[in-house]
Chain A
Amino acid sequence: QAQLVQSGAEVKRPGASVKVSCRASGYTFTDYYIHWVRQAPGQGLEWMGRIIPTTGDTHYAQSFQDRATLTRDTSITTAYLELSGLTSDDTALYYCARDGQKWDFDYWGQGTLITVSS
């Protein structure tokens, strides 16, 4: 059974950066892409980007093109999201999700709450 386990909640100051990890287990990490999705308080889900674990190739939503960086470390089956230039609008629950190869997200991490506050 695939499982994605994310790092814990963080509080950041405006202007800072944050790096969230997503450790995969129960399947071959390099066989499935990883996506990142966020949900701000009271808001809907928002797709942020995707990384291909084998090559490290990335694609981002336009709104995150300049501030988000997706990376991975295949030796520890972990994907990372780094978001820079944080503002209060970035306060949200951040999820990683596995691409199920049917244009879907079939397994999700538990979510990481990032709070941006001065």
Chain B
Amino acid sequence: QSALTQPASVSGSPGQSISISCTGTSSDVGGYNRVTWYQHHPGKVPKLIIFETTKRPSGVSDRFSGSKSGNTASLTISGLQAEDEADYYCCSYAGGATWVFGGGTRLTVL
């Protein structure tokens, strides 16, 4: 169970759009539409922002969207805001009642 691969950091200016990739294998990301994304502000609890690869929980801004192509899932944040500055983690079901996280991506809003 190797961790999913995410870029260590991304940045963008307010109002811009950014995307964070999450690359796995056919045994996890590519094999299921069961990718989730979490926003984690330091010192706080992780917050679910995308489930089942593309769906948003109630109350999550529609500026957040998820997609997948092959073994790579992506999180896109449009209209960047200062409050979006946080760590973002992807996670995928990996079969056999196991899950695997990505290494995390630090988003900096310039």
Interface residues of A (CB under 8 A from B): 35, 37, 44-47, 50, 59-63, 95, 97, 100, 102-106, 108-111
Residues in B with CB closer than 8 Å to A102 are 51-52, 55
The smallest C-beta distance from A75 to any residue of chain B, in angstroms, reads: 25
The smallest C-beta distance from B104 to any residue of chain A, in angstroms, reads: 4
Contact of B101 among A46, A62, A100 (CB under 8 A): A46
Contact of B36 among A59, A105, A110 (CB under 8 A): A105
Q: Is B86 among interface residues, defined by CB-CB distance under 8 A? A: no
Interface residues of B (CB under 8 A from A): 1, 3, 32, 34, 36, 38, 40, 45-46, 48, 51-52, 55, 57, 87, 89, 91, 93, 96-104
The reply to whether A103 and B52 contact each other, CB–CB distance below 8 Å, is yes
Residues in A with CB closer than 8 Å to B32 are 103
Residues in B with CB closer than 8 Å to A95 are 45-46
Residues in B with CB closer than 8 Å to A103 are 32, 34, 36, 51-52, 93, 99
The smallest C-beta distance from B29 to any residue of chain A, in angstroms, reads: 12
Complexed CA–CA distance, A97 and B45 (Å): 10
With A60-B98, A95-B45, A100-B51 known, 4 other A-B pairs at CB within 8 A are: A47-B98, A59-B98, A103-B36, A104-B36
Q: Which 8 A-B pairs have the closest CB atoms?
A: A103-B34, A44-B104, A59-B97, A104-B51, A47-B99, A108-B45, A45-B101, A104-B36
| Chain B residue at minimum C-beta to C-beta distance from A105 | B48
The residue among A47, A50, A95 with the most chain B CB atoms within 10 A of its own CB is A47
Residues in B with CB closer than 8 Å to A111 are 45
Contact of B48 among A45, A46, A59, A104 (CB under 8 A): A104
Complexed CA–CA distance, A35 and B94 (Å): 14
